[in-house]
Amino acid sequence: MSVRDYYEVLGVERTADEAALKGAYRKLAMKFHPDRNPGDKEAEAKFREAAEAYGVLSDGQKRATYDRYGHQGLNNSGGGGGGFDPGAFHDFEDILGAFGFGDLFGMGSGGGRGRAGSRGQARGEDIRHDLTISLEDAVKGTQAEIQVPRHDPCTRCNGRGAEPNDGLVTCPMCKGCGEVLYQQSFLSIRRTCGQCNGRGRLIRRPCVQCKGEGILRSERKLKVTVPPGVDTGIRLKQTGAGHPGPNGARAGDLYVVMHVEEHPVFKRKEDDLHCLIPINVTQAALGADVDLLTFDGLERVKIPEGTESGEVVRLRGKGVPSLRGGGRGEIIVHIEVRTPRKLSREQRKLMEQLRDLLPVENEPQEKGLLDRFKEFFL
- What are 43-87's pLDDT values in tens digits? 888 888 888 888 889 888 888 888 877 777 676 655 444 444 433
Q: Does one domain contain both 149 and 252?
A: yes
Domain boundary pick from 244, 260, 276: 260
pTM of the predicted structure, to 2 decimals: 0.53
118 within some domain? no
Q: What's the pLDDT score for residue 344?
A: 85
Range of the domain at 145: 127-260
Q: What is the 3-state secondary structure (H, E, C) of the chain?
A: CCCCCHHHHHCCCCCCCHHHHHHHHHHHHHHHCCCCCCCCHHHHHHHHHHHHHHHHHCCHHHHHHHHHHHHHHHHHHCCCCCCCCHHHHHCCHHHHHHCCCCHHHCCCHHHHHHHHHHHCCCCCCCEEEEEEECHHHHHHCEEEEEEEEEEEECCCCCCCCECCCCCEEECCCCCCCCEEEEEECCEEEEEECCCCCCCCEEECCECCCCCCCCEEEEEEEEEEEECCCCCCCCEEEECCCCCCCHHHCCCCCEEEEEEECCCCCCEEECCEEEEEEEECHHHHHHCEEEEEEECCEEEEEEECCCCCCCCEEEEEEEEEECCCCCCEEEEEEEEEECCCCCCCHHHHHHHHHHHHHCCCCCCCCCCCHHHHHHHHHC
Q: Does one domain contain both 369 and 281?
A: yes
CATH no. for residue 197? Answer: 2.10.230.10
Confidence of residue 333 (pLDDT cuts 50, 70, 90): very high
Q: Does one domain contain both 10 and 76?
A: yes
Give me the mean pLDDT over the 144-163 stretch: 82
Q: Does one domain contain both 304 and 333?
A: yes
Q: Does one domain contain both 131 and 256?
A: yes
329 within some domain? yes
Domain boundary pick from 260, 291, 317: 260
Confidence of residue 36 (pLDDT cuts 50, 70, 90): confident
Per the structure, the count of domains in the chain is: 3
120 within some domain? no
Confidence of residue 130 (pLDDT cuts 50, 70, 90): very high
CATH no. for residue 33? Answer: 1.10.287.110
Q: Does one domain contain both 294 and 242?
A: no
- What are 298-320's pLDDT values in tens digits? 999 999 988 888 899 999 999 99
Domain boundary pick from 245, 260, 275: 260
77 within some domain? yes
CATH no. for residue 344? Answer: 2.60.260.20
Q: Does one domain contain both 289 and 235?
A: no
Confidence of residue 88 (pLDDT cuts 50, 70, 90): very low
Q: Does one domain contain both 167 and 289?
A: no
Q: Does one domain contain both 141 and 81?
A: no
Bigger pLDDT: 370 vs 75: 75
Q: Does one domain contain both 206 and 229?
A: yes
